[in-house]
Amino acid sequence: MTLKLTNTLSRRVEPFEPLVPGEVSIYCCGVTVYDLCHLGHARSYIAWDVLRRYLSWSGYRVTFVQNYTDIDDKILGRAAEEGSSMEAVSERNIEAFVADMARLNILPPDRMPRATRSLDAIRTLIEELEAKGAAYSADGDVYFAVMKHAGYGKLSGRDLAEQQDNAAGRVGTEEEARKQHPFDFALWKGAKPGEPSFPSPWGPGRPGWHIECSAMVREELGNTIDIHLGGADLIFPHHENEIAQSEAATGQQLARYWLHNGMVNVGGQKMSKSLGNFTTIRALLDSGVSPMTLRLFTLQAHYRKPLDFTAEALEAAATGWKGLNAALGLASTASAAPGATPELAAARARFTAAMDDDLNTSAALAVLFELAKPLRALANRLERGDTSAAAEATSPSLAAQGELLRELAGVLGLEPEAGDAAQAATEGPSTDEIQAQIEARQAAKAARNFAEADRIRDALKAQGIELIDRPGGVTEWLRN
RNA sequence: GGCGGCAUGGCCAAGUGGUAAGGCAGAGGAUUGCAAAUCCUUUACCCCCAGUUCGAAUCUGGGUGCCGCCUCCA
């Protein structure tokens, strides 16, 4: 069985075949760096990270390019607001982006081009479009003429003739008046007084949003790439325009497969910066939600479907991850085991079949949970000091199961976490104080003064210390 | 108005013709002084109507509800 992916271009699930056997070129639309990233970005980049990991695991050599849009109106607006510069805003947010992605265990792209560093490629592309009659300039701006490009609308299923009437309501601004067709879009924007600008044959200005991606794709990966990624909200106009520009210039297909992820919703509405209903990645992680919990949360749904973000769903993911993590923790200590049993081979096959089916991570996770179940149970028995469990843990078949679990979890980017006990240990009561309290509680219990024993337990809990009574009168504790 | 998508148990979510994966929550049991934690067991006929079929959550037609895009957006 081979990988099948939903191609937005055909609106169908198609078998994936790269242009060059064994190699895959991928371009992923990155972020406009005017602010911190939120959970919508996390969902998107986690999904594509899994695609990338799965392709690599399947034996492909993957080249993954993702851009930074580091010049646009919002960055300029932010810079003006805080009295800094475009560069300062961009640099700060790029740094934050890199850190956030790393925390989520998202592999860094092979190359991360920036619009401001790709100006030669951008200007060249615009000149080519002008030479071919696909672009026209007006008052220092340069626009792409959608009417000149047969096939405009093929990605988003729009028909120019029908759409013109609907767009008519928006005509009226100064810019609209300069356009030959309402759907024409800026390739180059002339600079207004005081704005940062770059020189060009059309006067000082800056590139439009869409052209940078077309230019960077070509510069980094060539005229035709295998896979182009992005959020569903980019289908129109961004990706539609990218196709128009690139294909008008090169005469070749821009991308063979277009993949789009569904939005993250809050209360049934799309999470977005403009609506203000967003939670940033770092705010969520800093609030104590583990990166792997967030990963598990997003991977439990199919990447194309909308994902509703709720506290309850996140909590369910956290509990689910706790169990998976326990199993992975045990698996990492198990010794290597040769050979796979028929059961393990079947589990591997089910995982692969799920992933081949348009990255069905939800079904793939079911395989992980099933593999994890006996390991988790054993891990917990070991933790209790069950001596017979120690012998079982060394069984070759269980070790092999653990190894498979770790391997498959790794394909989803799920890796065991040690927890942040060490970090938390600097807060709250000291180990000695806790130990003294536990002894006081033991004494109370021995005297059958359960009210006092419970009071001590509750008091410690209020300080973030949880007591765990083990068989044999042993009491352990955990910091929360 | 145009284009696209979705509707499965208390919640999240797989499943695209043969009698419903998985996670969370809940229930019962083990354990406990009682709890917590842990372990074991356990819980659905799939939005509505009409068709096709030996057989449909899965196909067709109609309806209802919800979401995204059409302006910056992952």
| pLDDT per position as a tens digit, A206-251 | 999 999 999 999 999 999 999 999 999 999 999 999 999 999 999 9
Whether CB of A179 is under 7 Å from strand B: the answer is no
The answer to whether residue A288 sits within a structural domain is no
Which of strand B's nucleotides are less than 7 A from any protein C-beta? 1-6, 11-16, 21-25, 31-40, 66-74
- Is residue A480 very low, low, confident or very high in pLDDT (cuts 50, 70, 90)? low
CATH number, domain of A327, equals 1.20.120.640
pLDDT the model gives residue A88: 96
CA A343 → C1' B18, Å? 25
Looking at the structure, tell me whether residues A373 and A426 fall in a common domain: no
| Average pLDDT taken over every residue of chain A | 90
Q: Which domain holds residue A190?
A: 7-266
The answer to whether residue A299 sits within a structural domain is no
Whether CB of A231 is under 7 Å from strand B: the answer is yes
Looking at the structure, tell me whether residues A194 and A86 fall in a common domain: yes
**Please, what's the largest Cα pairwise distance for chain A?**
94
Looking at the structure, tell me whether residues A234 and A196 fall in a common domain: yes
What order of strands is seen across the sheet that includes strand A141-144?
A135-138, A141-144, A185-190, A205-207
pLDDT the model gives residue A427: 66
Bridge partners (DSSP) listed for residue A143: A136, A186
The answer to whether residue A401 sits within a structural domain is yes
CA A337 → C1' B42, Å? 35
Domain count, chain A: 3
Whether CB of A363 is under 7 Å from strand B: the answer is yes
Span A166-192, mean pLDDT? 77
What CA–CA distance (Å, rounded) separates A79 from A71?
A: 11
pLDDT at A254 over 60: yes
Write out the H or E segment, with its range, that includes residue A463.
Answer: none
Per-residue pLDDT of A181-202, as tens digits, reads 989 999 999 998 888 999 999 9
Q: Which residues of A in 44-73 have their CB below 7 Å from strand B's atoms?
A: 44, 69, 72
Q: Give the closest residue to A385 by CA, choosing from A478, A480, A479, A473.
A: A473
Whether CB of A348 is under 7 Å from strand B: the answer is no
CA A354 → C1' B63, Å? 34
Bridge partners (DSSP) listed for residue A144: A135, A185
CA A11 → C1' B60, Å? 20
The answer to whether residue A193 sits within a structural domain is yes
Looking at the structure, tell me whether residues A428 and A343 fall in a common domain: no
Per-residue pLDDT of A125-139, as tens digits, reads 999 999 999 999 998
pLDDT the model gives residue A135: 96
Looking at the structure, tell me whether residues A60 and A158 fall in a common domain: yes
The ipTM of this complex is 0.94
pLDDT at A262 over 90: yes
Whether CB of A307 is under 7 Å from strand B: the answer is yes
Looking at the structure, tell me whether residues A391 and A436 fall in a common domain: no
CA A212 → C1' B22, Å? 42
pLDDT at A265 over 90: yes
A224, amino acid identity:
T
